[in-house]
Every structure is written in structure tokens, then in C-alpha cells.
Structure 1
Amino acid sequence: MTTAAIITICVIILAVILFATEALPIDLVAISIMLILVLTGVITPQEGVEGFSNKATITVAFMFVLSAALLKTGALQVLAHRLSNIFRYNFNSGILMMMFMIAIISAFVNNTPVVAVFIPVVIQIAHTSGQSPSKMLIPLSFASIFGGMCTLIGTSTNILVSGIAEKEGEQAVEMFQMTPVAGILLVVGVIYMSILGIKLLPKSRRSKNLREKFEVNNYITLVELLSNSTSIGKKIMESELVTEFKMDIIEVRRNGSQFTLPPGDFELNEGDILKVRCDVEKLKSLKGKTKTLSVSPVKIGDNDLSGKNSALVEMVITSSSEIHGKTLKELDFRRRFRAIPLAVKHREDIKHDDLYDIKLKAGDVILAEVKSHYVDELSKLESGQNTPFVLLSENHITDFDKKKFSIVISLIGIMVLLASTGFLDIMVGAICAVVVLVFARILTMKEIYEAINWKIIFLLVGALSLGLAISKTGLDTLIAQTMLGQLQPIGIIAVISGLYLVTSLLTEVMSNNASAALMTPIAIAIAHNSGVEVLPFLVTVMIAASATFMTPIGYQTNTMVYSAGNYKFRDFFKVGFLLNMVFWIISSFTIPWYFDLI
């Protein structure tokens, strides 16, 4: 084994550890992989940056823009709210309809914004129909995964696999070549979730009462500034309440007037009654040190904290959010979003202390009080492609623009038709569609730049570098020969099954794009060493890298619904393990049968 091969193996091990532990942002890990491979001489500098100009990378970038254009028309939001009528008559029919609808949309539109649009609507539907959101949010996420597998443009993973194959001299995967196999899995997946999966999900963990959910009862208090208080005459940002006791002053009540979320330069007066967020133990020490009298705890209920000037909202951080990996202090959260954080739900833990210093991750939920008039502004932020968060406690419907929708859906349809017939390359088609949207004034150039999920783009660049290193060092052939030596005597079904299983397990602990980049060169080498066509093995990697259901970290939509549905880690494993097994078994037999390998 060469030195370059050993270095590549070490990089792969390091990448798996970093992706699994989330110790660093995935885009930073990906670019670091590329840099290490270049600096150690495994690949050249030119080969390292080739990922930026790769057809797969460019296609994914422009598909993000098309998804943003469709989202901007308001069509998905209107469709989501109309879905609620079906649930009023029959919950089971509603689940079936929802999953098929989400799957069809996700086959042609990036599934992350689709799930972001539907999360708050599904929660509202659950409450109005007397069901638990936990029975509906995992099916929502899984349905988006089912649909994404069905076409080349349904997920960036499929585009990446096709791009790597083309780079290695193979035929690019066509638009619907994986559809028959993925379509069977889609139907099986929906039936499984509707009959068995939904029974394995928890009945009810989410409470409508935000006091119970976030346990903030003891953290919101009214305090009065007495005549000898050291904070009188000082600006809020200079007061000991903020500088020493790390309080958030949510409201100031003075002579019958209320000042909601006062700015930092607001001056405090004697007799002011402040509504604050603070730790109970700090409040106890506060009385003696600052001569400030605690008046009473504030009730937190369905209308809690929300006076006529403020609203209580839950903000779920999305996978593409700029908030991911940052603290509220770094974001200047209060000033930027006109909001006071009251609690943060991270996975299964609820944090109340030192909120501004907590490093936030995708799937975390921030409970915040926001000025009422600013909620609409937050909703506008939410309606974008790279939405920083999803508002669970507010319902916002974007106005449906039929004319713009007709143009966008027509362009996507024409692009799919031309690409599927081979008349136009999918990358060229995506670029053409975006240019037309700009000339039609449906999108601006600024909106195009903002629509692209640069985290995924950088991830693809690093993943492509890793795939190139595996191929260049001969590791693909070595691993392929090892796998074939063990599985080929059993038959082609065993070979496909082994490739699927390895890819699927890798995807559960690292990014689906990273696992696809890792396994695609190996899949191509297996096909060459077996003397059969490459396409069945590429389809195997595509499906296995997307069909990840056992953990909330394997796929970005799973992460988004994790905290929103108040799930526990074991909920995903309970319902996802059997589904993974079913997909594995069906794929192991269906792929060789459909592609005439047996």
C-alpha cells in the first residue's frame, strides 16, 4: 500500500469521526479534507479545487435557486394549509395523502425547505385534529427522503453520485433511471409508516402549554426598582441587572405604560417594574445586593408572557441556517431578531442558563419573546430557501402568486422534460431556467446568491476531493476486490446487499453526501471487477446514502423534526431500524432483478 493510500485512509477515518461527533461544522470538515489531501500531495491543487467547477456542484447550486423560486410563489404554503381539510375527516387518509404529496414535491424540489414549510402546519393540524405532532413529524421527514430518492434532481446526493461517475469516465445517470426501484421503496415506505411505523411512534410528548415544555416557570419574574436601587438612573446595558446578574429585561412597566423589549440605552427609573428572565438562585442573591424587591413570579401558559405588545415563539434552527454552530451572543440575537431568548431545547435537554453562550445546532429550538409587530418580519425570513429557523408558534402564509407559480413550475417541467429526453444537459437546463427567472423578474441576483446553500456546496467540494483521492490511490480497487472476494462467491445479490449495507451504515454516522462520495468510486470499481454495468451499483449507492432513518443526525430533515416533535433518540431507532432493514432487503433483490443482473 502506498503512502498516499495510507494518508487517504487516515483522512477517511478522521472525516468519519468529525462528521459523527459534529465537533466541527460539516462544511469546514469538508474543506479541511480537501486541504489535507492537497498539502500531503495526494491530489494536486488543481484537482483539489476542481470540485467548485464540477457539474454536480453547479447543478446542485442552481437547483437550490429553483427551489427558492417555487417557495417564493407561496404555492407550497397554500398546499400545506389545504392539507388540513383532509385530516378533519380521516387522520389515516390524511397521513397517506401527506406522505405521498411530500414525496412527489421532494422528487423535484430540495426537501429541506419543503419540510421547513410543513412543520408548523403539521403541528397545527395535529392539535386541531386531536392528534400528537409526534405521530406526524417523522412521517413528514421520511416522506421527503422517499421522494428525494426517486429522481436525479430530488437530492444533492443523486447529483453527486452521477457527477463522480461522469468524472470517472462513466455515463451520467439519467433523470429517471433510479425511479422504478426508488418508486417501489417509496410505496413500501409509505405503507410501512401508515400501518406499523405510526404505531411505534410516541403517542404524546408535546404539550401545548409552553410552560410545561420549556420549564421556564421559575425563570421569569417581576422585579421592582426601589428608591435605593443601584440601577436607578442607569441605562439597561449599564445596570448591574444586566452586567452582573446576566438578566434579560423583557418589559418595563412605568406609570401605567408598558415598554416591550426596551433597547439597551433605555434609562431605568425608581418604581419601574421589570419583567426579567433570570435564574432563581441569582434572584435570591439579587435582593440583598441591589436593593431590588422581587414582586411575583409570572405565569407562563398558552397566552403566557405574551401581552398585547409581544408574542411567544418557538424557533427551530434549520440545517442550512447560519445560526448553526454559533452562539446567540455572536449573532447579536436580541438586536437582530428583536427577541429575548427564554430557553433553548437541545436534543432532549432544556437549557435556561447562560443562553447567550450556548453553541447552537440544527434542530435546536429557541423559545423567545418577540415584539408583536416584528413577528411578520421573522415570518418573512422563514419563507426563504436558506431560512435560519422555522417558527412553530406562529402561522404565516405567503401570498400565492399564480402567475409566478405558472412560470416557475413550467420552467422546472420543461427542464425535467428536456433533461430526461437527453436533449439538454441537466446543469445547462438548471442555469437556463434560473436566467429566465431573473429576466422575468421573479428572482433578483441578490436572491440567487442568498438561495444557494453554500454549506452543501463546500461539502460537495470536499466530498469530491475525497472521492478523487480514493480513486487516484487505488483504494477503490483494493476495497472492491476485498468485498468481491467475500461476497462474489455467494452471488450478485450478496454483492449489491453488501455495498448497500456499508453505504447505509456510513450515512447514519456521517453526511449522506460524504458517504456517497466515499462509496461511489468503490461501487464503480466493484462493477468493473465484476464485469457488469456500473448503473446498478450507482443506484445502490444513491438509495443507500439517502435512505437513512435510524438516527436524527443521518439526514438534515430528521434533525429538523427531532426537537420540533419532542422526540427522543430512541424514537428514530425504534421506527427507523426496521424500515432500514426493509429497504435493505428489498433493494438487495430488486436492483439486481430490475437491471437484469440475475
Structure 2
Amino acid sequence: MPDLQSIMVLVVVVAAMILFITEKLRVDLIALCVLLALIILGLVGHNQALYGFANQATATIVAMFVLSAGLDRAGLVEWLARRLDRLAGKTEPRLIIVICIAIAFLSAFMINTAAVAVFIPITIVLAKSRKISASRVLMPLSFASQFGGVCTLIGTSTNILVNSIAVDKGMDAFTFFEFAPLGLAMTVVGIIYLISARGLLPKRKAGEQQVDRYHLADYLAELQVTKKSSLIGTTWIKSKLKQNEKVNLIKFIRNDKATTKPPKTKMREGDILLLHGNMDTLIAMQDKYKLRLHAKAKMDDKKISSDEIKLIEVLIPPQSKLVDHTLQTFEFFRRFGCIVFAVQRRGKIIRDRVAEINLKDGDTLLLEAGKDVVSRLLKSRDLIVTNELTELYVRKDKAIVALFVFLTVITLTVLHIIPILVAALIGAIGMVLGRCLTLEEAYEAIDWKIIFLLGGILPLGLAMEQSGAALWMTNTILSPFLNLGPVVVLAVLYIITAILTESMSNSAAAIILAPIGLSVATTMNVDPRPFLVAITFAASTSFATPIGYQTNTMVYSPGGYRFTDYTRVGAPLNLIFWGLAVLLIPLLWPF
């Protein structure tokens, strides 16, 4: 039986995992709650409370965000993406191969969410020009960014994190390209799988001969009944709208209050219908039933069909300031000069009014915008415009500086001249001093959610080890496998990490399982390095759900995917990588 301190740590671990999986709170808030619980319960000392924030992994990841932003701002990533048109040929397999190789290469050296953000609109355009569904290439784009991320020490935050844990325990640091042999093997096998198993990739309407501009079927729009509407005097149940249109009534609002019996309430002028359905249908209904978009901000009553107004589809990326804000609190109209026609969240029906929806990364907004504000949207770091492309703009003088700074960081790290933390900090400061980005842009480039996640959750790993909870979990969960040898234990650790990563933060999964990996190695009297590598790779490659990895979430809406699409395509790939890891890790990192 574990002692009282171990039991308290285990309770905190279980509570944290439940919160991460259910997504009741933001991951960074969960991490801070975990930290507070550890301090109050006396599971970490006051001198250890800031261990996560002072950890070299956290500082290195901060620097890598800035370094990646410098490359992005200089236009180098977009320049490379635009060159793919000539290489991609005309066939779907070749397009997938070229995109996968390009994004895997970039993701090995920069934060993959930044690379994927640039590639999403370009990939959609490349697919559309070849009359290929975007859903056939966006999922491979996300998966390949993860292939590349496991090829180098800086490819993902998890790699940097586990390396820091190893160094803290007195182990030798992982070298810059130490993960490369296994990472490259997974990249090659992964691309071969995506090509040979193309039949599993979904084919949505976006790639048919007649391209559906708004290929997402589950938008939420807020339409108001006008005095000329044919719906006045009828109920929802008896209306032609209910009978003829494939839309669902989510809320019926009158005088700013939801009615108690929406389907049976007779409609009046000014009533607001919160409708959920296909966007083309929702747009057509405005003229057909004399409804109008309900929004506090209007644009001189110009019709959507006007040449002066465009419908722009935008995606909210993970680092957007819109995340966890409503359109009202963010003052969306004042900032961008356009109104939100509808909001879409894959896999969930939103029941709040459009202006009151608490926005999440991965949400898609359909904007009614004047031509003069499109350029402002394209330049925004808070939105990714998925159905428009900005003009390619490479700041040549800054591109040379950014490339020089980047290559300097790689050289200093690979040749072991200075530690990776120092090299990354030199790179981040070099990007700012070289004016590749301003200091304000550098701050904006940092995903503070990940930083606070690490700051709050890293002490949990410390508490697990200090209290003996990690050793108890090893003896309890893995005891049936300990006598079967280290390879079997490695296989079990990998699959446990992979399953956890599909449902919670990959960094959190790695932090919770790394102490167990170290404890297993001590118990079996073997080198812990292979176990840490297994945990790193399993936590950095998540394919079976759209929530297991940020890039999966980013392509979820633009690809029009369903949750099960990821399971069908990604689960077999997870199993293939599992087998590959179990086969190659003991050869590359002997016990």
C-alpha cells in the first residue's frame, strides 16, 4: 500500500487526467490548479513551486516559438509552400507525397503549428486546382507535421521536455539528431501508409467537380424574422422552413429571451431563430423567407451577393487571442470591420447565441466582409483565412537574416558548442535584433497556454517521484510485465502513452509517464533512455482523434472531417508506429 503522501499525489494525478480528458477547463488553468493543490497539500516545497517555470525546457520552448515566428514573418515558410505547385504534379498521390515531405522537413526545425497554419490555405488551393477534395490532403498534412516533429530534438515541445527531464536526472542530454533514425523511419513508413491507404481518407464535397465553397455542414447562424417574412404567424413545426429545408432550430429568441416552447411558438417580426445546418441553405433562406442576419453591427444593409461584400471563411488557430473570448468581449466588429455570419465547431452543436459563443481554437467563422478589410484579415495572426490567399511577400533582407540566425542555432546545437537552451535564446534574441520581428510580435508568437501548462504540471512529475507514487504505479500497473523483459515493458509504456495522448495534452501525458519510465528502469536495473524515447515518440504522434494534437484540430474544420475519420485513418497508423518503435528502439538505444 502507498503511504498517505503517495495517495494524495495519485489523487491529484487522477483528478488532473479527468479534467484534461473531459476538457471542463483550459489546460493551462488545470495545470495551475494542479500546482496550487501540490503546494497546499505540501507535496512540493515552496522552493520547488516554480520548478516548472524555471525549467530549461520551458525557457527553450519559449525561445523556439520566437525563432519559428521569425522564419514565418520573413516569408520563408510561405515561399517554400508556394514552390510546391510545380513539384506536386497533377495526381493526388504525388500531391500528398510532396506536401508531406515539405511539412515534415519544416516541422523538424520549427514549431509545427506555425508551419501548418501557413500550409492550410495553400494546400486547399493546390487541391482545388487539381479538382481534389481538400479532405484528401489536409489530414496527411497534419500527420506529416508530426512525423517531422519527432526527427530532431527541437521538433516538438515534448522532445525538449523529455530531454530536460533526462538531464535533471543526471542522464546525458539527447543530441540534436539522436531521434532522427527512428523519426525518419516513421516518416517514410507514414507517408507510404498514407499513399497506400488512400481509400481510408474521406472525400468531402470540397473536391468534387463543382466545388462547394462552404463544405462544412454544421454551421450555426442567427437569422431574424423581418416584417415581410412568410413565416410570420406560423409555428416552426408547421412552417415551410421546417418541412423543406434541412436545418434545425436550436433556439427561438423573442425580446432577448429564449422561448419555452420554440417549435410551437408562432413567429412574429423581430423574432430571432438560431439555426443549425448547411451554410448554402442558410444563406439562401435569407431571400427565400425574408430573413436577415442578426448582428448588432451592420454594413449599410448591403446584400451578401453585392460585389462589394465577400464571404470569408476563417479558422481560429491555437495561439489566437480570440480563444476563450466571445465576439462581444473581443469587440470583433471594431477590430476587423466585418461581421460574423455563422460559427461552426466540428463534432459539437453549439447552443449559445452567435455573439455569446465562447470561441475555441479550431472553430470556423464565416464572415461577411467588405473587400477593403480582406487584406486586414489575411495579415491577422488571430485568424487563418482558408478560402483566400494573400499575395506572396518575402522580406528578402529579413529572410537572409532569419535564415542565418536559424542556421546558426542549428550549427551551435549540432556541434555541441553550447547547450540547446543557450542556442535557442541566441536565436530568439537574434530574430528580434535582426528586426525579423518586433519585440511585441515575439511576445505574441509565444503560446502562453503551453508555457503555463508546463509551469503548472512539471512539479507534478517531481511530486510523483519524490513521494514514491511513480514507483508504486510501476509496481502496480506494470508488475505483470516486469518479468517478461524490458521490450515488453517498453511496448506497454508506449501504448499507454499513445492512448493518453489521444485524449489529453501530449505534454501532460509525457510529464505524468516520464517518472514511471524512470522508475521502471530503476526497478529492472536497465538504461532508462529507451523508455524515455518510447514515451517521447508516443506523446508526439497522435493520429486517432482530432483533439490529441493541435495540428489535427487545426485541419478538422477546413477538411470537413468527422471524429471517426481520424479513428479510421489514424488508429492503424498508431499501431504501425507502435510496432516500429518496439522493433527499432531497442536496436537504436540498447537496454
Counterpart CA distance in 2 for 1:92 and 1:529 is: 48
Any conservation in 2 of the 1:103–1:143 contact (CA below 8 Å)?
yes
Equivalent of 1:424 in 418, 421, 445: 418
> Which residue number in structure 1 is paired with residue 269 of structure 2?
286
Residue 389 (1) aligns with residue 404 (2): no
Query: Relative to structure 1, is the Cα distance of residues 219 and 515 closer, same or farther in structure 2, using a 3 angstrom cutoff?
Result: closer
User: How much does 1:220 deviate?
Assistant: 5.9
User: How much does 1:397 deviate?
Assistant: 3.6
Corresponding residue SS for 1:315: strand
In the TM superposition, what are the counterparts of 1:339-354 in structure 2 within 5 Å?
Answer: 339-349=338-348, 354=353
Counterpart CA distance in 1 for 2:203 and 2:93 is: 15
Q: Deviations over 1:276-324 (max 9, x none)?
A: xxx99999411799xxxx9755799xx9825233221112111222222
Counterpart CA distance in 2 for 1:286 and 1:423 is: 73
Counterpart CA distance in 1 for 2:533 and 2:98 is: 27
> Which residue number in structure 1 is paired with residue 537 of structure 2?
543
> Which residue number in structure 2 is paired with residue 266 of structure 1?
none
User: How much does 1:410 deviate?
Assistant: 2.2
Counterpart CA distance in 1 for 2:28 and 2:486 is: 36
> Which residue number in structure 1 is paired with residue 28 of structure 2?
27
> Which residue number in structure 2 is paired with residue 133 of structure 1?
134
Tell me which amino acid in the other structure corresponds to 2:358. Answer: K
Mean Cα deviation higher: 361-370 or 568-577: 361-370
Tell me which amino acid in the other structure corresponds to 2:120. Answer: I
Residue 13 (1) aligns with residue 14 (2): yes
User: How much does 1:349 deviate?
Assistant: 4.7
Corresponding residue SS for 1:370: strand
Query: Relative to structure 1, is the Cα distance of residues 544 and 366 closer, same or farther in structure 2, using a 3 angstrom cutoff?
Result: same
Residue 376 (1) aligns with residue 385 (2): no
Q: Deviations over 1:457-484 (max 9, x none)?
A: 0011122111111111112222233455
Corresponding residue SS for 2:387: coil
> Which residue number in structure 1 is paired with residue 401 of structure 2?
407
User: How much does 1:552 deviate?
Assistant: 0.5
Corresponding residue SS for 1:550: coil
User: How much does 1:510 deviate?
Assistant: 0.7
Corresponding residue SS for 1:152: coil
Counterpart CA distance in 2 for 1:174 and 1:211 is: 46
Counterpart CA distance in 2 for 1:288 and 1:27 is: 39
Tell me which amino acid in the other structure corresponds to 2:544. Answer: M
In the TM superposition, what are the counterparts of 1:136-215 in structure 2 within 5 Å?
Answer: 136-196=137-197, 198-206=198-206, 208-210=211-213, 213=216
> Which residue number in structure 2 is paired with residue 473 of structure 1?
467
Any conservation in 1 of the 2:226–2:290 contact (CA below 8 Å)?
no
Equivalent of 2:496 in 498, 502, 525: 502
> Which residue number in structure 2 is paired with residue 229 of structure 1?
none
Corresponding residue SS for 1:378: helix
Q: Deviations over 1:198-219 (max 9, x none)?
A: 2101122447435674578996
Counterpart CA distance in 2 for 1:296 and 1:245 is: 25
> Which residue number in structure 2 is paired with residue 559 of structure 1?
553
> Which residue number in structure 2 is paired with residue 270 of structure 1?
none
Q: Deviations over 1:564-596 (max 9, x none)?
A: 111001000001110011111111111012223
Counterpart CA distance in 2 for 1:214 and 1:304 is: 23
Mean Cα deviation higher: 477-486 or 415-424: 477-486
User: How much does 1:490 deviate?
Assistant: 1.9
Tell me which amino acid in the other structure corresponds to 2:369. Answer: V
Tell me which amino acid in the other structure corresponds to 2:356. Answer: D
User: How much does 1:64 deviate?
Assistant: 0.2
User: How much does 1:46 deviate?
Assistant: 2.2
Equivalent of 1:490 in 484, 502, 526: 484
Counterpart CA distance in 1 for 2:567 and 2:132 is: 22
Instruction: Tell me the percent identity.
Output: 37
> Which residue number in structure 1 is paired with residue 432 of structure 2?
438
Q: So what's the TM-score if we normalise by structure 2?
A: 0.85
> Which residue number in structure 1 is paired with residue 576 of structure 2?
582
Query: Relative to structure 1, is the Cα distance of residues 593 and 211 closer, same or farther in structure 2, using a 3 angstrom cutoff?
Result: closer
Query: Relative to structure 1, is the Cα distance of residues 216 and 352 closer, same or farther in structure 2, using a 3 angstrom cutoff?
Result: farther
User: How much does 1:169 deviate?
Assistant: 2.4
> Which residue number in structure 1 is paired with residue 37 of structure 2?
36
Any conservation in 2 of the 1:363–1:564 contact (CA below 8 Å)?
no
Counterpart CA distance in 1 for 2:271 and 2:32 is: 53
Tell me which amino acid in the other structure corresponds to 2:184. Answer: G
Residue segments in structure 1 that go unaligned for 5+ positions in a row: 226-241, 247-278, 382-386
Counterpart CA distance in 2 for 1:281 and 1:304 is: 31
Mean Cα deviation higher: 109-118 or 446-455: 446-455
Query: Relative to structure 1, is the Cα distance of residues 78 and 220 closer, same or farther in structure 2, using a 3 angstrom cutoff?
Result: farther
Tell me which amino acid in the other structure corresponds to 2:567. Answer: F
Mean Cα deviation higher: 166-175 or 132-141: 166-175
Tell me which amino acid in the other structure corresponds to 1:123. Answer: I
Query: Relative to structure 1, is the Cα distance of residues 439 and 219 closer, same or farther in structure 2, using a 3 angstrom cutoff?
Result: closer
Corresponding residue SS for 1:286: coil
Tell me which amino acid in the other structure corresponds to 2:565. Answer: D
Any conservation in 1 of the 2:487–2:582 contact (CA below 8 Å)?
yes
User: How much does 1:146 deviate?
Assistant: 0.6
Tell me which amino acid in the other structure corresponds to 1:429. Answer: A
Corresponding residue SS for 1:326: coil
User: How much does 1:350 deviate?
Assistant: 5.9
Q: Deviations over 1:150-198 (max 9, x none)?
A: 11100001111111222222222221111111211111111101111x2
Query: Relative to structure 1, is the Cα distance of residues 36 and 215 closer, same or farther in structure 2, using a 3 angstrom cutoff?
Result: closer
Residue segments in structure 2 that go unaligned for 5+ positions in a row: 229-252, 273-285, 293-301
Mean Cα deviation higher: 391-400 or 477-486: 477-486
Counterpart CA distance in 1 for 2:19 and 2:529 is: 31
Corresponding residue SS for 2:16: helix
Q: Deviations over 1:396-421 (max 9, x none)?
A: 14411233222222222221222122
Tell me which amino acid in the other structure corresponds to 1:439. Answer: L
Tell me which amino acid in the other structure corresponds to 1:52. Answer: F
Tell me which amino acid in the other structure corresponds to 2:366. Answer: L
Tell me which amino acid in the other structure corresponds to 2:443. Answer: Y
Corresponding residue SS for 1:136: helix
Tell me which amino acid in the other structure corresponds to 1:485. Answer: S
Residue 460 (1) aligns with residue 454 (2): yes
Query: Relative to structure 1, is the Cα distance of residues 32 and 518 closer, same or farther in structure 2, using a 3 angstrom cutoff?
Result: same
For the aligned residues, what is the CA RMSD?
Answer: 2.9
> Which residue number in structure 2 is paired with residue 362 of structure 1?
361
Counterpart CA distance in 2 for 1:281 and 1:203 is: 39
Residue 516 (1) aligns with residue 510 (2): yes
Query: Relative to structure 1, is the Cα distance of residues 14 and 82 closer, same or farther in structure 2, using a 3 angstrom cutoff?
Result: same
Query: Relative to structure 1, is the Cα distance of residues 495 and 211 closer, same or farther in structure 2, using a 3 angstrom cutoff?
Result: closer
Tell me which amino acid in the other structure corresponds to 1:209. Answer: D
Any conservation in 1 of the 2:204–2:215 contact (CA below 8 Å)?
no
User: How much does 1:11 deviate?
Assistant: 1.2
> Which residue number in structure 1 is paired with residue 308 of structure 2?
309
In the TM superposition, what are the counterparts of 1:28-67 in structure 2 within 5 Å?
Answer: 28-67=29-68
Query: Relative to structure 1, is the Cα distance of residues 40 and 452 closer, same or farther in structure 2, using a 3 angstrom cutoff?
Result: same
Provide the aligned length of Structure 1 versus Structure 2. 539
Corresponding residue SS for 2:178: coil
Tell me which amino acid in the other structure corresponds to 2:444. Answer: E
Any conservation in 1 of the 2:220–2:350 contact (CA below 8 Å)?
no
User: How much does 1:138 deviate?
Assistant: 0.5
Any conservation in 2 of the 1:62–1:431 contact (CA below 8 Å)?
yes
Q: Deviations over 1:222-270 (max 9, x none)?
A: 9589xxxxxxxxxxxxxxxx99469xxxxxxxxxxxxxxxxxxxxxxxx
Q: So what's the TM-score if we normalise by structure 1?
A: 0.84
User: How much does 1:69 deviate?
Assistant: 0.2
Counterpart CA distance in 2 for 1:40 and 1:554 is: 30
Mean Cα deviation higher: 1-10 or 566-575: 1-10
In the TM superposition, what are the counterparts of 1:198-347 in structure 2 within 5 Å?
Answer: 198-206=198-206, 208-210=211-213, 213=216, 244=255, 284-286=267-269, 297=289, 305-347=304-346
Query: Relative to structure 1, is the Cα distance of residues 164 and 215 closer, same or farther in structure 2, using a 3 angstrom cutoff?
Result: closer
Query: Relative to structure 1, is the Cα distance of residues 523 and 215 closer, same or farther in structure 2, using a 3 angstrom cutoff?
Result: closer
Corresponding residue SS for 1:564: coil
Counterpart CA distance in 2 for 1:187 and 1:217 is: 40
